[in-house]
Structure 1
Amino acid sequence: MYQIRSLQAVPITPGKAWDFLSDPANLKKLTPEHMGFHILSGSERPMFPGQIIEYKISPFRGITTRWVTEISHVQEAEYFVDEQRFGPYAFWHHKHIIHPSPEGVLMEDIVDYKLPLGPLGKLAHSLLVRKQLKRIFDYRSEKLIEMFGSIPGHSSTLELKTI
């Protein structure tokens, strides 16, 4: 199992952060263009428990896959969790958390994931997947700054580790 932890300070209200994050269509804005991200179904409404969202994504050149996630938990204006039901990972559990702060919000992501294929999955993680996920979260951080600004004195953090 692996884990990604990302924390970013954004100068917006918790309500504005929630409105943005709870709209599934906004995920495309936070995904690098080269990944060919396209929502196929399930993005017509804001997040709710049990919501199924189906995507098409190209994680690596020449490889396109479907990805189906379920929104398993929602606490309005605080957090939601998406879990893969079908897709490229053996396991994917992603918590999106909004922490109010005096200057705005701290947006935290905690992703626990596992690749399929045992030793081959471990090799793919070290050679490709880890770097790709880092690039995706770095891109996301840049886009959030571009859209909402940043809070002086607060840098975003990204930690990738084996758990």
Structure 2
Amino acid sequence: MKLYRLWAKQALPISKSEAWEFLSDPRNLQVITPDHMGFQILSGADRPMYQGQIIQYVVKPFKGYSTKWVTEITHVKEGEYFVDEQRFGPYDLWHHKHFLREIEGGVEMEDLIDYKIPFGIIGQWVQPWLVKKQLNEIFQYRLEKLIELFGAFEGYKSEFELT
């Protein structure tokens, strides 16, 4: 079993509470997901985030293919972090931790995702040129979209890494 990791860090010139308000609203995931992904929330996003919340989406990771994705919010510490885990969907494992930390002049957001690709050796083969590439594009889009929405944090280098 090969486990992959995506790590991302970004700062925004807004308060921690403003960042939490935006990121903890499940409906905003659609805002920060590229349009070509066909992301649509089917159910479960009608309330602010809470532990045990089940959210169901449709996503089109590749042209001509759509899949349901069901996540559960497994941990929430108000204003600090939350964790979502895939229950059903395109990955064998998806465990996504979101952290917020107040910094001088704004907030630093950190994402840590551990994931496993299905289909054994075939999944490992497509990981570098298909899955990794797509996740890279999604997180680059999010980085740019959050800057568009909230402004750039001068002097801060946002970064992400997939291993």
What TM bracket, shorter-length normalisation?
A: over 0.9
Matches within 5 A, 1:143-154: 143-154=145-156
| Partner in structure 2 of residue 19 of structure 1 | 21
1:69-118 Cα shifts (integer Å, max 9, x gaps): 00000000000000000000000000011010011000110000000111
Report the alpha carbon displacement of residue 155 of structure 1 after superposing the two structures with TM: 1.5
Q: Structure 1 residue 70 and structure 2 residue 81: aligned?
A: no
**Aligned partner of residue 150 in structure 1, secondary structure:** coil
- TM-score, normalised on structure 2? 0.98
1: CA distance, partners of 2:120 / 2:105: 44
Q: Structure 1 residue 81 and structure 2 residue 83: aligned?
A: yes
1: CA distance, partners of 2:149 / 2:128: 32
Give the partner amino acid of 1:14.
K
| Partner in structure 2 of residue 54 of structure 1 | 56
Report the alpha carbon displacement of residue 127 of structure 1 after superposing the two structures with TM: 2.1
| Partner in structure 2 of residue 107 of structure 1 | 109
For the aligned residues, what is the CA RMSD?
Answer: 0.5
| Partner in structure 2 of residue 155 of structure 1 | 157
Number of residue-to-residue matches in the alignment: 161
- TM-score, normalised on structure 1? 0.98
After the TM superposition, list the runs of 4 or more consecutive aligned residues in structure 1 that deviate by more than 2 angstroms.
Answer: none
Seq. identity, %: 57
1: CA distance, partners of 2:161 / 2:116: 16
1: CA distance, partners of 2:62 / 2:98: 25
Report the alpha carbon displacement of residue 137 of structure 1 after superposing the two structures with TM: 0.2
Unpaired runs of 5+ residues, structure 2, are none
1:8-31 Cα shifts (integer Å, max 9, x gaps): 010010100000001000000000
Report the alpha carbon displacement of residue 150 of structure 1 after superposing the two structures with TM: 1.3
2: CA distance, partners of 1:135 / 1:46: 27
Unpaired runs of 5+ residues, structure 1, are none
1: CA distance, partners of 2:42 / 2:126: 27
Report the alpha carbon displacement of residue 123 of structure 1 after superposing the two structures with TM: 1.0
